[in-house]
Structure 1
Amino acid sequence: MSRGLRSITLLQLHYFIEVAAEGSITAAADLLYVSQPTMSAAMKDLETRVGRALLFRSARGVTLTVDGAEFLGYARQVVEQAELLEQHYLGRPPSRRLLGVSAQHYSFVVDAFVRMVKASDAAEYEFSLRETRTWDIIEDVRTLRSELGILYRNDFNQKVIDKLLRDSGLVFHPLFLATPHIFISRKNPLAARDRVTLDDLAEVPRLTFDQGANNSFYFAEEILSTLSSKQEIRVSDRATIFNLMIGLDGYTISTGIISDDLDPEIVAIPLDVDERIEIGWIDHSGIPLTEQARRYLEEVRAVVTGFELELIG
């Protein structure tokens, strides 16, 4: 039978999705309780049928080729639609839901994630949420460790961020524009102010998120990263930064969106600067979003609605 008449099977698509997610044919085989030779043969046969190399194989596992990344998007859509048919006509229960999100340290990201999980109709799911460094967010989405990434850009970092995204085959989708705010403890004397200026912050410890080896000003999560500060502390997670806001009366600069449920001891005060923060999500340019990813973005938009923002996504 010629290659043109050979059909791609749903089973092969299931296998391919798991191989891409695990980054290993052996790990995917173990997860699906099939032998490694069976999984390897299925992937080679799939590549033969589509007439393109989908996987790059090395001693450290497998990664997707450019064609493989595009194919993965269509594979997810086909499998998702097949599962919806089975649920509707065969009475099958909803399948295991999968979604990975990597983001800078924003409470609205977590709030939306909580809403998504609570609203999930799946008996089984496997979600991941990584609050991490800017460079790692881009790498997570590029390598498909996460389907979505959430980060900010502004006039200062936009050219650098956009070039890195283009080189990685990713696209930035704007969600909203926000006025910069400082996050501080409710007990901080500045918490009683309607607005604060940079002069007000001159003697206050500045708290920033550490960017590791890629500690360029362009990858900072906070605007005005090039301004010097007499007192600066770098941290790696939101819990620590909030504890330092309370313990040391420190501040950080962010969007102004804060969750009273998740962060009851922290308040947001407008910062009097001529800047805007553009928050958006990133994904692969050639891969359609899964239904679960679209649901998550709907929750993000629902969370930020009601704040003084300019929604643009």
Structure 2
Amino acid sequence: MTLQQLKYVVTVAECGNITEAAKQLFVSQPTVTSAIHDLEKEMQIVIFIRTNKGVILSEDGERFLGHARQVLEQVDLIEGIYKDDVVSKPHFAVSCQHYSFAVNAFVDVIREFDACQYDFTIREEQTHEIIEDVTNLKSELGVIYLSSKNTEVLSKMLKRNELEFTELFTATPHVFICDSHPLASKKSITMDDLQDYPYLTYEQGEYNSQYFSEEFVSTLDSRKNIRVRDRATLFNLIIGLNGYTVCSGVISAELNGRNIISKPLDVEEYMRIGIISRKGVVLSRYAREYIEALKAHCM
């Protein structure tokens, strides 16, 4: 077993495709395939299961990947201390719902380590994609929320995939609107106040249900509904159409713009926002720093 083989495994797991991993590693696809095959033979396990869409980690492969990441992280630390001429390239990936504080925390991690080389990934995705990413160790961490409406279903799904949820904070629901909105002067807003305005939500594909929605208020509660895929479009529509969305209330003027404001929503509900990770997998120093940065931005 070599460090190069471990790097190949980690990169293939992150890409989900051997061809794409080979491009990132600047080697040929047969080289990566052969190296992983030799490693599987030596370890007497199957690390990757081949599918028509690429590769996925086997159960043994998931455990192996966790150990491989730890080994490579320790190598980076040693080389950073003793080999001034060696430039290590740290890797870290997180998948999250569309939270500006999750992006701000990601920026903090990059600034904290200030490496001259790094390969970091942040994915703002649909809820089920976040769970799949962390399950398959494509991302080390995921950021989602639980509420009274989705806890039972999502908790079962997390347990089935050997994931654990660690709460960061409990938020009271807020509404994001523009500062020129007719309701902008109100101290708090009710659902009745919002009936005449477009409700903007994040599209969840085939998982469009209240259990996977990023907004705990169902679209059935609104007469006008618009689904979007990205945060920029959502905020443009909030401004252009006097629309609104329901969220945690944690707002970033840097990322969302100063004309987006947050108002308390008058409902008896909560949002437990936290991180999901694989059970039994030791987190990298980047993941640990990311969690601390999340706490700093949310509390």
Q: TM-score, normalised by structure 2?
A: 0.91
Mapped to 2, the partners of 1:41 and 1:207 lie a distance apart of 48
Shift, 1:36, TM fit: 4.4
The verdict on how the C-alpha distance between 1:270 and 1:88 changes in structure 2, with shifts beyond 3 A counting, is same
Give the match for residue 83 of structure 2: 90
Query: Aligned runs of 1:162-177 on 2, under 5 Å?
Result: 162-177=155-170
The verdict on how the C-alpha distance between 1:60 and 1:247 changes in structure 2, with shifts beyond 3 A counting, is closer
3-state SS, counterpart of residue 149 of structure 2 = coil
Mapped to 2, the partners of 1:51 and 1:207 lie a distance apart of 51
The verdict on how the C-alpha distance between 1:25 and 1:153 changes in structure 2, with shifts beyond 3 A counting, is same
Give the match for residue 273 of structure 2: 279
- Is 1:304–2:289 an aligned residue pair? no
1:23 to 11, 16, 25: 16
Q: Could you tell me which amino acid in structure 1 is paired with residue 148 of structure 2?
A: D
- Is 1:294–2:281 an aligned residue pair? no
Mapped to 2, the partners of 1:260 and 1:93 lie a distance apart of 39
Mapped to 2, the partners of 1:25 and 1:208 lie a distance apart of 35
3-state SS, counterpart of residue 282 of structure 2 = coil
Mapped to 1, the partners of 2:232 and 2:22 lie a distance apart of 38
Give the match for residue 130 of structure 1: 123
Does structure 1 retain, via aligned residues, the 8 Å contact 2:163–2:277? yes
Structure showing greater radius of gyration is 1
Q: TM-score, normalised by structure 1?
A: 0.87
Query: Aligned runs of 1:141-152 on 2, under 5 Å?
Result: 141-152=134-145
Give the match for residue 153 of structure 2: 160
Unmatched tracts of structure 1, length 5 or more: 1-7, 306-313
Unmatched tracts of structure 2, length 5 or more: none
What number of residue pairs does the alignment pair up? 298
3-state SS, counterpart of residue 214 of structure 2 = coil
Mapped to 2, the partners of 1:200 and 1:29 lie a distance apart of 54
222-231 or 100-109, larger mean C-alpha shift: 222-231
- Is 1:101–2:101 an aligned residue pair? no
Mapped to 1, the partners of 2:229 and 2:31 lie a distance apart of 42
Q: Could you tell me which amino acid in structure 2 is paired with residue 249 of structure 1?
A: N
Shift, 1:304, TM fit: 1.4
Give the match for residue 113 of structure 2: 120
Give the match for residue 179 of structure 1: 172
CA RMSD of aligned residues (A): 2.0
Give the match for residue 203 of structure 1: 196
2:261 to 267, 279, 301: 267
3-state SS, counterpart of residue 183 of structure 2 = helix
- Is 1:232–2:221 an aligned residue pair? no
Shift, 1:17, TM fit: 1.8
Does structure 2 retain, via aligned residues, the 8 Å contact 1:69–1:287? no
